[in-house]
Each structure stands twice: as structure tokens, then as C-alpha cells.
Amino acid sequence: MKEIKHRSGCPVSYTLDFFGDKWSLLILRDMMLFGKTTYGEFQSSAEKIATNILADRLSMLEHYGFVNKQVGTDKKSKFSYTLTEKGISLVPVILEIGLWGAQFHPPGLNPELKAALQNDRQDTIQAIQEKLRSKLQPG
Amino acid sequence: MKEIKHRSGCPVSYTLDFFGDKWSLLILRDMMLFGKTTYGEFQSSAEKIATNILADRLSMLEHYGFVNKQVGTDKKSKFSYTLTEKGISLVPVILEIGLWGAQFHPPGLNPELKAALQNDRQDTIQAIQEKLRSKLQPG
DNA sequence: ATAATTTACTTTTAAAATGCAAGTGAATTT
DNA sequence: AAATTCACTTGCATTTTAAAAGTAAATTAT
């Protein structure tokens, strides 16, 4: 892996040094919101990520501790990618990005999720995070 | 301007179609958090954006209605860039990104802002947005 | 058992984006 | 009048991304 260099002390630019591209947050979205765990599932998303970009981003996410790569329990030779605690800590970021987009992009967010977030944001976020934690991943 | 094409109906990907790069959100950060308004001020940020990239991103932000470009009132031939209401609507996104980065990047966020956000997020966001609105920009 | 398919990639090549340096022209300052 | 500042634009090298094809191991189908 090529190391990321951080451009400044600013926390906004720090985050963008990791996620300032068109794909890495979509992989995390698929894990957080749709429970995806395998290479093939990530590849099948509507945005049609190129396979080399997917491989590159997964290795970045693993290298920096956002996800964990394990041999799948079903013994079908698939690897299983799961979020680490550090990955789970990005839930509020992804949701905020989704809420913003939903204001302008017709299909919007799942209405129940949207309502829940607007009614009690903190609880809704924590519930999602708890559910992800229950899939038990070290890291 | 080259038109942005949206990769899917997902609101997360929609947002990333605009802001999935390393620079555009930093320009908005400079306007939101540091009150910057001119080309020269954006160029002087710690991250050292290249001048052609800055010009390109400013025209994108203007084209899609996130910022407004006006001839500066001080008649120094400077243009003044201000946020539109649509640009102001990104305040929560930028702050969330900053809060996340602050957890891992030593210099962190301005401690007062961080505390305010954690104590009463909604009010803090609205206060920042109100202040930006008071600089009156159509759009 | 053999062949075809699936999975998770890697490699190659082409296209696009980015970074760096230099240049431009209008306005401002000296 | 000359030098400087401001807000860019242009040209070119480097890097990143995209698209397509290839690969090797494992799985499923025949």
C-alpha cells in the first residue's frame, strides 16, 4: 500500500485524505446500510465500481483499519469483509452525506431511516452502530 | 463546465458525485469556518491547492449553485465568493467530517466548536448557518 | 472425472484528472 | 511610467481512474 500523506493539521482535510474520492465511502455504505460483506457484493452495486479500483480501495480500507478481511465462515473460499470499530465510527459521516443528498436527489433515503434520524439522531446512529458491532469484528 | 453525471439513485453517491474529490469541500470549509471569500485567500490555505484546480472547483461550485461570484465591493478588482443557501446546507456535512477527523488527527477541531457541537448540535449548526446567511447572498 | 462457472483478484492499455511551472491581462500601487 | 498584485489560463509531465482482458483457485454441473 502507498501511504497516505496528510496535507495539513485540519481534521476536515485529514478525513478527505482518506475518503476524498468517489468510491471508498460507497464501499463503507454498502457494509453499513446493506450488510454487504463480499467482493462480489460490492461489485454488484448500482454504481458499477471497476474491479481494480475495488481491490485497491479494499486494501486501503484494510490497511488503515477501517475493515477486516477474514476467510468466510461458509468455506466457499470467499473472503468476508467486516467493519472494525474505526469503520463503524464513520456511520454519522455517511448518514450526514446521505441526508444531504436526499434533499436534492429524488429517490431519497429510506423514509423510515430519514424520519428516525430527524427525530432522534443520536439514538438512531447508535442503534445502527450496535447492530454492526454485533457482527463481531476485532481490529 | 462539464456536467456531472450521477451514478445511481443513492443519495450518498449523489453527494460524492459533487464532492468526491480532495479539494471542493476544503474550499467550502474555508468559506464556512474561516470566512474566506477571495481566490487569493483560498490559495493561501495550508493544503496548497494548485491554481488551476482552484479555478476549476470554484467554477463547479458556482455552476451548481453552491457559491456565488460577485465583483468585490471594495473595488479592488477582486471577486468575492459567498455561499448560497445550497452551499450553507452543507454545514452539517463539513462539521461531521471535521468531527470524525478530529478524533484521530492531533490538532483536532477548535475545542469550543467541538464542545458546542457535542452539547447541542442542532443549535450550533443553526447558529453557524445564520451567521453565514447574514452575509446575504442570493442564489 | 471433466468441463464450465464463479470468485477474487491482477495486468495491460487508454483516458482523465492532478500537479507544477510559466504566462497573461487588467487593475492597483509605487 | 514601471512594478506589483490579482485572478486566472495554458502547456506539459505525472498520477489516478476506467475499461477490458487475463488468471488461478475453488465450486458446481454434467
> What digits encode the pLDDT tens for the residues A51-93?
999 999 999 999 999 999 998 776 666 899 999 999 999 999 9
Residue A132 has pLDDT above 60, yes or no: yes
> Per-residue pLDDT tens for B41-90?
999 999 999 999 999 999 999 999 999 999 877 766 689 999 999 999 99
pLDDT-based confidence at residue A6 (cuts at 50, 70, 90)? very high
Closest nucleotide to B69's CA, by C1' atom?
Answer: D7
Joined grid coordinates for residue B131: 451567521
Nucleotides of D strand lying within 7 Å of any protein CB atom? 6-11, 16-22, 25-28
**Which domains, from first to last, does chain A contain?**
11-133 (1.10.10.10)
Do A25 and B20 lie within an 8 Å CB cutoff? yes
| Helix locations, B50-90, DSSP H | 51-63, 85-88
Q: b or e along A56-80 (b: 16 or more beta carbons within 10 Å of the residue's beta carbon)?
A: bbbebbbebebbbeeeeeeeeeeeb
**A58: number of CA atoms within 13 Å, CB side?**
24
Residue B118 has pLDDT above 60, yes or no: yes
